[in-house]
Structures are given as structure tokens and as C-alpha cells.
Structure 1
Amino acid sequence: MGMDIQRILPLTAVLISHRHMDHLSPASHKLLGGRVSSVIVPSGVKTDLPTTTFSVTELQAWQVRESSGLGIVVPVIHDGGRFVGDARSHPDSFAGYLIEYHGMKVYFPGVTAYRADILSNAFTRFGPIDLAIMPICPIVPAEEMLPHHMNPEQAIEVANLLHASAMLPIHFETFVN
């Protein structure tokens, strides 16, 4: 169930993790309109957004955007498709983010598959994470889903690899398996 658009306060920035329709709805961005100052997207995603009142910044892996806080794009493992069958059309159009604000570090890997060597890079580069916002995604059938998504156990393992003080699970039960 969605939120009443009138109850959403003005937003400094919106982070888009990838192009899938459940994460990048042009209609939602049009509705947000004047409530959003800036949208940050991975490489190759800007053209998927409608022209509106907010600015759009495309960032590559490990690129930094500084504003009132620090936002860094971190690599993840997913696919850049927007529709069924076009996963290879945008090979780099997915990302995660490390946000640092007033000394607090928040890690949001968007939607990603599990790979400890890539996902622990945020800890290697930035030290312990205060909050890990971890996606628990559709995982059935495993042979099709786990190359692109994490299961609950893997999400907990990544939060532990990051030495996260807290973990917020998201994205679970968004689809019927």
C-alpha cells in the first residue's frame, strides 16, 4: 500500500538503485515533483526519468557526491534491465550507496546478489557502518533468483561483514514466490 503523496515532506535527495520498474517508476517521480530537489542514479539511468523540477545526477562506482552529507556510489551485483529480457541493455545501471551525514554512516546496497568480496568493500574503505539497509529479495526459484538477490541469511552476513551497529531489512515480501 502506497503513501498519501500529500503527507510526504520535501526531500533533499532520492537515491535510485536500478532501473527495474518497482524501483524506478516515472509516474511516482512526476507525483513527487516539487517535493524533490535532487535525484541520484547509477550510470545509464538518467534517461529513464521524466523531465521535471528536480535535478538528476548520474554517478559511476566509487564516485562521490557531496552536498549536506557525503554520498558515494558503491558497486553491487544485479542487472540493469528495465523490462523482461533487456537485462544486458544497461550493464552498469545498478548501484548501492554509502551515505555519511553528521558522522553517521548508512549503507544501502540497493538490490544485490551476495558476494562478500564486493559487499564488504564499504567496510574496507569506510570502517564500521552505523546502519545497513539490507534488501531481502525474491529468492525462489533459487537458481534463477540468487544470482541477483540476497536471502535473509546472506543479508545478515553482509551486515556483520560491515560491522553494522544496526540492520534494517527491506524489500521482503514484495513479490509472491
Structure 2
Amino acid sequence: MEVICNSSFILCSVTWIGHATTLIQIDGLNILTDPIWSERCSPFSFAGPKRYTPPGISINHLPNIDIVILSHNHYDHTDLPTLKQLEEKFHPMVLTGLGNKKLLLGEGMHNVKEMDWWEKISFGSVTFTFTPTQHFSGRSLFDRDETLWGSFMVVGKKEKVYFAGDTGYFSHFKDIASRFGSIDIAILPIGATEPRWLMEPVHIGPTQAVMSFLDLKAKFLVPMHYMTFVLSDEPLDSPVPRTKEAMKQSGISESAFVPLKIGESRFF
């Protein structure tokens, strides 16, 4: 599948490539979120969680990538082999939290911008704000919380797109909504949630994803962070029906939920 740049249509689109990797196309910019094309999310190529489903789009079939946004430095969200490929092909600007620049420059990235929570940067008509989440960082036993984690609000001429990265449920969703007003598209994680006693502080489940969606006052919920890597105890295909049920229980229209297939695009 080849994704065509939508700059001539003045539309906003989201394509789910797998896990937390989406292609956001807004105001002529092509943006990748937490890109991972590797077979494993691990420091090793021969061990660690292996892909259950392949990426929905080949890197060779991507449009020119302008911006890469990285929510935090865990291996399933900051995948260095993928970032090296993207650098070779597109030389994108990489936006990430404080403390991550050294790692990325050392691996061959050239254009890296570190951001603190609530910091903004604009490219043309699109503004990126690094927003808080409840999570943590670390790539080894010895660097826990030494770099900053977060989420991104992407605001174009008309649309506002929120990418949550990884997060537990907290008041930051309401704080984001109070600053930005009504959000058009909320890209929220719904997988890697069980057992709850372990995952709840750092990963929202389907019920909390719906609570987050309501807090954000968003129009559409695009789910991610499921059906790609086996990182927890729940069945890989269970998050979507559980989220649908949670939305139904909350009285939300079924049309607000947009569970894309891997490789599928939706224009908004």
C-alpha cells in the first residue's frame, strides 16, 4: 500500500501503521508518531517481544516524512533501527522530550528538537505542543526517568489532533482540553493493559481511554497500541470490543469510534 500526500486536498488524515505508529497528514505535512518497523521492540535483534502483525505500510511506500514525534524512549516507541532508515530516506525533524537528543544524535539523527511540557514549535501552519502524560522513561536498568515523556497536540489551520503516546489516566487530559478547547481527533492507546494492578498507573485501558476521550472533549477516538506486539496478558483482539462497550455504556455515538485496520487511512 502506498500513501499519497494529501497536501492538495486540504484535508486531515490518520493512517494506522501498527502499535503506536500512525501517519498524520495535516496542512501538507506528513508526520509519523513513535515509528517502529522492526521485528522486535527490544535492545536485541534476536530476543524480546516480536511483531504479531507486520507494519501496514512499507517504509518504501511512505510519502516524504517531514516530522517524527517521539512520546518517550521505551523500545516500542523510540526504535533506533527505524529512525536510522527514516533519516537516510527523508532527513525529518524529530521532536522529543528533554534528555533524548544525545541518544538520537549519537545514532545518526541530524535534526532533533527537545521539548519540555507545554513547549511549542511551529512548522508552517502546524503547531506542535509537547503535553504531559502519566508514564515513565528508561532504556536500561540504570536510566529510569532520566528523560522526559509526554504526548503531542498537533494543531493545524482547522483540525486539532492529539497523540497520547503511553499514559495512565490522570487530570492531564482535562488540563489539555482546558488549554486547547475541543479536539477533533484523539489518538489513544487501548492495549497493553493487563494485569491492571501492574499496568494501570502507566497504561490506560479501554474504560479509561473512553474517560480520557470525554475529558479531552474530542470528536473522534482513533485507537492504537494493540494488535502488534504481545506486551501484556489480554488477548490482542480484545481491546476494540471492550472499548466499543465502554463507549456504549457512556452514551457515546458509535460513529465517534474509528478503529482503523492496520494500514487503513481515514480522512476527517
TM-score, normalization: structure 1? Answer: 0.91
Structure 2 counterpart of 1:66: 122
Deviations 1:45-101 (A, max 9, x none): 11222223x400000000001112100010101011123x346341x5211011101
Q: How big is each residue's C-alpha offset from its partner over 1:112-161, in whole Å with a ceiling of 9 and x where there is no partner?
A: 0011x212111100100000000113121211111110001111111111
Over aligned residues, Cα RMSD in angstroms?
Answer: 1.5
Q: Does 1:113 align with 2:164?
A: no
Pairing partner for 1:123 from 169, 177, 182: 177
Q: Which residue of 1 aligns with 2:138?
A: 81
Is 1:95 the equivalent of 2:150? yes
Q: How many angstroms apart in 1 are the aligned matches of 2:222 and 2:91?
A: 24
Structure 1: distance between partners of 2:190 and 2:91: 27
Q: Which whole-Å CA distance do the structure 2 matches of 1:87 and 1:137 have between them?
A: 25
In structure 2, what residue type is equivalent to 1:32? L
Tell me: higher relative CO, structure 1 or 2? Use CA pairs within 8 A at least 6 residues apart.
Answer: 2
Q: Distance in 2 between matches of 1:137 and 1:36?
A: 31
**How many pairs are equivalent?**
173
> What's the offset of the Cα at 1:37?
2.1
| CA positional deviation for 1:103 | 2.0
- The aligned runs of 1:8-157 (5 Å cut-off) are 8-33=62-87, 34-49=89-104, 50-52=107-109, 54-68=110-124, 69-83=126-140, 85-86=141-142, 88-90=144-146, 92-115=147-170, 117-157=171-211
Indicate conservation of the 8 Å contact 1:10/1:36, yes or no.
Answer: no
Q: Secondary structure at the match of 1:80?
A: coil
Q: Which segments of 5 or more consecutive residues in structure 2 lack a partner in the other structure? A: 1-53, 234-268
When residues 8 and 74 of structure 1 are mapped into structure 2, their CA distance, relative to the original with a 3 A threshold, is: same
Q: What code does the residue aligned with 1:101 have?
A: G
Larger Rg: 2
Residue 116 of structure 2 contacts residue 148 of structure 2 at CA under 8 Å; is this kept in 1?
no
CA drift at 1:30: 0.9
Aligned residues with identical type, % of pairs: 28
Counterpart Cα distance in 2 of 1:56 and 1:96: 16
Q: Secondary structure at the match of 1:120?
A: helix
Q: Is the 8 A contact 1:14 1:36 kept in 2?
A: no
Q: Cα gap change, 1:79/1:86 in structure 2, threshold over 3 Å: closer, same or farther?
A: farther
- Runs of 4 or more, structure 1, over 3 Å off, are none
